[in-house]
Amino acid sequence: MGSHILSSMESLLSRALTERPYAPIFITIFFAILVSIAGAISHTLPQAQVFTPEGEGVSAQAHAGLLNALILVIPAAGGSFIILYLIRKGRLNLLLSLYKFLFFLLSSMVFYFIGDIPLYLIQSRTIPYFPGYFLSYRAVLYSLNWDAPFAVGVTVSAIVASQLFSPYSDRRRKNTSLMVLSGILGGFMAVILPTWTVLIVLLLLSAYDIYAVFYGPIKEITSMSV
């Protein structure tokens, strides 16, 4: 039953990605809304500690957002040149190991916070429980405290990473896992970062993507793989 549901979801996402190029945007928005609602219910949604806090007024907020965005975008842009350098040097194994580490680290952080939401709901009794086994299960979760979200984050991240990098996963399953993870990461970052920082990050990354695809490292990487 579970494998049938997973296969159906993979087939649906695969068709959406090939037939509807805007599907990734809607998937990211969906996860952003989901994380926002869950965080509002549980009051546990974290706020990122930005380098420059956004002050009062549009001008101060835009200035702080620009500084924060540059700090976030510059390493991302530099990463594409590092990838190009590793490919040129033939260090593909090192590049794959780096991908595995970063995907596991980022997804663990996100699923850690997401895993805290159902724990909070159970502890605060906002989810109705039945007498007997569910009550004892709730007591166990309460005693675990922060260990339960950590376990959820690591476990789910390991599953996603195994689907992304396992030689036994086909292309459709890898693409589906990558799309779901990217949507969750994008939605999560859009929710926890300040508004102006998110807007300017999107603008700068969009501009850099245009450059990278037509003139920069992504164009060169693509030409090397053809």
Whether residue 9 is contained in a domain is answered as: no
Instruction: Give the chain's domain count.
Output: 1
Whether residue 45 is contained in a domain is answered as: no
pTM higher than 0.85, yes or no? no
CA 75 to chain centre: 17
CA 166 to chain centre: 19
Whether residue 123 is contained in a domain is answered as: yes
The three state secondary structure string of the chain is: CHHHHHHHHHHHHHHHHHHCCCHHHHHHHHHHHHHHHHHHHHCCCCCCCCCCCCCCCHHHHHHHHHHHHHHHHHHHHHHHHHHHHHHHCCCHHHHHHHHHHHHHHHHHHHHHHHHHHHHHHHHCCCCCCCCCHHHHHHHHHHHHCCHHHHHHHHHHHHHHHHHHHCCCCCHHHHHHHHHHHHHHHHHHHHHHCCHHHHHHHHHHHHHHHHHHHHCCHHHHHHHHHC
Whether residue 34 is contained in a domain is answered as: no
Whether residue 35 is contained in a domain is answered as: no
State residue 37's pLDDT score: 67
CA 115 to chain centre: 14
* Torsions phi, psi for 115 (to 5 deg): -65, -20
> Going residue by residue through the chain (226 aa), what tens digit of pLDDT does each one get?
444 544 555 555 555 555 566 666 676 677 667 666 665 655 555 555 556 666 666 677 777 778 878 888 888 888 888 888 888 888 888 888 888 888 777 777 777 766 666 666 555 554 455 444 444 445 555 555 555 556 666 677 677 767 777 777 777 777 777 777 777 777 777 777 777 888 888 888 888 888 888 887 878 877 766 5
Which range marks the domain in which residue 154 is found? 58-225
Whether residue 136 is contained in a domain is answered as: yes
Number of neighbours of residue 207 by Cβ within 10 angstroms? 11
State residue 135's pLDDT score: 46
Whether residue 14 is contained in a domain is answered as: no
What value, to the nearest 5°, has the Cα angle with vertex 143 and ends 137 and 148?
75
Whether residue 131 is contained in a domain is answered as: yes
